[in-house]
C-alpha cells in the first residue's frame, strides 16, 4: 500500500513509519523539517513531503494516489478557537480530502483524554467526558470522523455516501527512544527529570499510586499497522500496556541502574490497586497484549545515559518534535 502519514517523524510516528516499511508498504511522510532527520529521506520506499498540517494545499496533493492515511500529528493552540482551527479543523479537512482522493482507509490518532478522567475498567464504549481543551479537541475530531458517513445534498437532505474506512486509536502515555539518529521522544519530561535527579544525587518523592499503563512507540506501531491492513471500519481502540507502572517504581529502576547515586527515593500514600483501562479489544481483534516493562527499562537507561552525558558537559540533541 501507499500510505500517507502526518507526524511520521514524531514520538509515535517514527515507529509507525518503520513498522509499515518493514511490512513492505510505501510511505509518504509529511514533515515541516526534513533536514532535521535526514535518515528518513534516505530510506527506500519513503517520500518525504515538506509541509505543515496547516498547509491544506500540500495535504490535498499529498494524499492523491494513496491507499491509506494515518493522521498522527498534533495541532496545538492555547484557546478554544486555536485548538479548533489547528487540530479539529485539520482533521475534518484531511478526512474530506482523503475521501475525495479515493483513499480507502483513514486512521485518526486520538487520546485517552477524549474520555476524560479514568473510570476503573472503562473500555471503548465509555462516554466521552473530556476535562480539558486537548481532550475536547480529540473527542470532537473523533465525532467528525465517525459521523462522516455521507455528504449532504442540501439542508436536511443526504447526498453521496462515504466509501473510506475510518478508525480511531486512543494512545495513553506513549514513550520512545529515537528510532533513528536525530529522532524524537515524547514531549513529557518526567523520565528526563527522574534520570537527572538520580545522576545528580537529588532526592525524589512520589505518590505511590501515581502511574499509568505505559506503552512504547515500538509496541503501539503494531496496532497502527494491523489496523491499517485490516478491513475494519468505525472502530475505536484503546492502545495501552496491560499493566500499570508507577513513577515511584520507575525511579527505583533508575536508581538500580545507577547504583552509585546518593539519591533517596521515597513514596507517599497507601498503595492501592491501580485503576485500569480495559485493553481487551486490541487483544481480541489483533492478538496484541503488551507488557511494557522491557521497553521501559530500555527507555530509563537511555535517559540515564543522556543525563550522565550532560553532567559530563557533553551535548545531547533536542528530542522534542512538537507540532509535527
**Does residue 15 sit within a domain?**
yes
Domains in the chain, number: 2
**Does residue 323 sit within a domain?**
no
CA atoms within 13 A on the CB side of 144: 21
CA atoms within 13 A on the CB side of 87: 29
Cβ atoms of 302 and 296 closer than 8 Å: no
103-162 pLDDT per residue, tens: 999 999 999 999 999 999 999 999 999 999 999 999 999 999 999 999 999 998 999 999
- Looking at residue 182, its pLDDT comes to 84
How far apart, in whole angstroms, are the C-alpha atoms of residue 240 and residue 249?
Answer: 18
The alpha-carbon radius of gyration of the chain (Å, integer) is 20
Pair (54, 150) in one structural domain? yes
Pair (114, 260) in one structural domain? no
Pair (127, 187) in one structural domain? no
Residues of the chain with pLDDT > 70, as a percent, come to: 99
Pair (203, 257) in one structural domain? yes
How far apart, in whole angstroms, are the C-alpha atoms of residue 81 and residue 86?
Answer: 8
Pair (224, 304) in one structural domain? no
Pair (15, 158) in one structural domain? yes
**Does residue 279 sit within a domain?**
no
Pair (191, 227) in one structural domain? no
Grid cell locating 115: 474520555
**Average pLDDT along the chain:** 95
Provide the pLDDT confidence category of residue 322 given band limits of 50, 70 and 90: low
Pair (19, 90) in one structural domain? yes
Q: In terms of pLDDT, which residue wins out, 320 or 194?
A: 194
Pair (162, 260) in one structural domain? no
CATH value at residue 64: 3.40.50.720
Pair (19, 167) in one structural domain? yes
| DSSP percent split of the chain into helix, strand, coil, nearest 5 | 40, 20, 40
For the segment 308-318, the average pLDDT, to the nearest whole number, is 89
Residues of the chain with pLDDT > 90, as a percent, come to: 90
Cβ-based burial of 121 (10 A; exposed 0-12, middle 13-18, buried ≥19)? exposed
**Does residue 282 sit within a domain?**
no
Grid cell locating 310: 550532560
Would the pLDDT of 324 be above 50?
Answer: no
DSSP 3-state of 62:
helix
Provide the pLDDT confidence category of residue 307 given band limits of 50, 70 and 90: very high
Torsion of CA 38, 39, 43, 49, to 10 degrees: -40
**How many CB atoms sit inside 10 A of residue 41's CB?**
13
95-115 pLDDT per residue, tens: 999 999 999 999 999 999 999
DSSP 3-state of 158:
strand
pTM, two decimals, is 0.95
**Does residue 55 sit within a domain?**
yes
- Looking at residue 176, its pLDDT comes to 94
**Does residue 160 sit within a domain?**
yes
Least confident range of 33-42, 71-80, 123-132, 223-232: 33-42
**Does residue 321 sit within a domain?**
no
3: closest CA among 11, 12, 239, 19? Answer: 19
Domain around 148: 2-172+217-239
Convert 214-224 to b/e letters by CB count within 10 Å (16 or more is b): bbbbbbbbbbb
Pair (7, 154) in one structural domain? yes
Pair (164, 270) in one structural domain? no
**Does residue 143 sit within a domain?**
yes
Provide the pLDDT confidence category of residue 321 given band limits of 50, 70 and 90: low
Would the pLDDT of 193 be above 50?
Answer: yes
Amino acid at each position: 500500500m501507499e500510505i500517507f502519514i502526518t507526524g511520521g517523524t514524531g514520538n509515535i510516528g517514527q515507529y509507525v513509519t518503520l513498522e509499515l516499511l518493514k511490512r513492505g508498504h510505501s510511505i509518504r511522510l509529511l514533515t515541516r523539517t526534513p533536514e532535521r532527520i535526514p535518515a528518513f529521506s534516505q530510506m527506500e520506499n519513503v517520500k518525504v513531503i515538506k509541509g505543515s498540517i496547516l498547509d491544506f494545499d500540500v495535504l490535498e496533493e499529498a494524499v492523491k494516489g494513496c491507499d491509506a492515511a494515518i493522521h498522527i500529528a498534533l495541532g496545538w493552540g492555547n484557546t478554544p478557537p486555536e485548538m479548533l482551527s489547528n487540530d479539529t479543523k485539520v482533521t475534518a479537512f484531511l478526512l474530506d480530502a482523503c475521501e475525495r482522493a479515493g483513499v480507502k482507509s483513514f486512521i485518526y490518532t486520538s487520546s485517552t483524554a477524549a474520555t476524560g478522567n479514568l473510570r476503573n475498567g472503562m473500555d471503548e464504549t465509555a462516554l466521552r467526558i473530556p476535562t480539558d481543551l486537548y481532550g475536547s479537541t480529540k473527542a470532537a475530531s473523533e465525532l467528525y470522523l465517525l459521523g462522516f458517513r455521507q455528504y449532504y445534498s442540501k439542508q436536511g437532505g443526504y447526498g453521496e455516501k462515504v466509501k473510506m474506512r475510518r478508525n480511531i486509536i486512543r494512545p495513553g502515555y506513549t514513550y520512545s527512544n529515537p528510532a533513528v539518529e536525530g529522532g524524537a521522544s515524547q514531549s513529557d519530561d518526567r523520565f528526563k527529570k527522574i534520570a537527572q535527579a538520580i545522576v545528580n544525587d537529588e532526592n525524589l518523592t512520589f505518590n505511590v499510586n501515581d502511574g499509568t499503563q505505559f506503552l512504547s512507540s515500538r509496541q503501539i506501531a503494531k496496532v497502527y499497522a494491523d489496523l491499517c491492513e485490516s478491513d475494519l471500519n468505525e472502530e475505536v481502540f484503546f492502545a495501552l500496556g496491560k499493566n500499570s507502572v508507577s513513577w515511584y517504581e520507575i525511579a527505583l529502576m533508575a536508581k538500580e541502574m545507577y547504583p552509585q547515586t546518593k539519591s533517596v527515593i521515597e513514596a507517599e500514600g497507601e498503595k492501592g490497586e491501580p485503576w485500569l483501562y480495559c485493553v481487551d479489544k486490541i487483544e481480541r481483534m489483533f492478538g496484541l497484549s503488551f507488557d511494557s516493562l522491557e521497553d521501559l527499562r530500555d527507555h530509563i537507561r537511555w535517559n540515564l545515559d543522556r543525563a550522565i552525558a550532560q553532567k559530563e558537559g557533553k551535548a545531547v540533541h533536542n528530542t522534542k518534535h512538537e507540532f509535527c
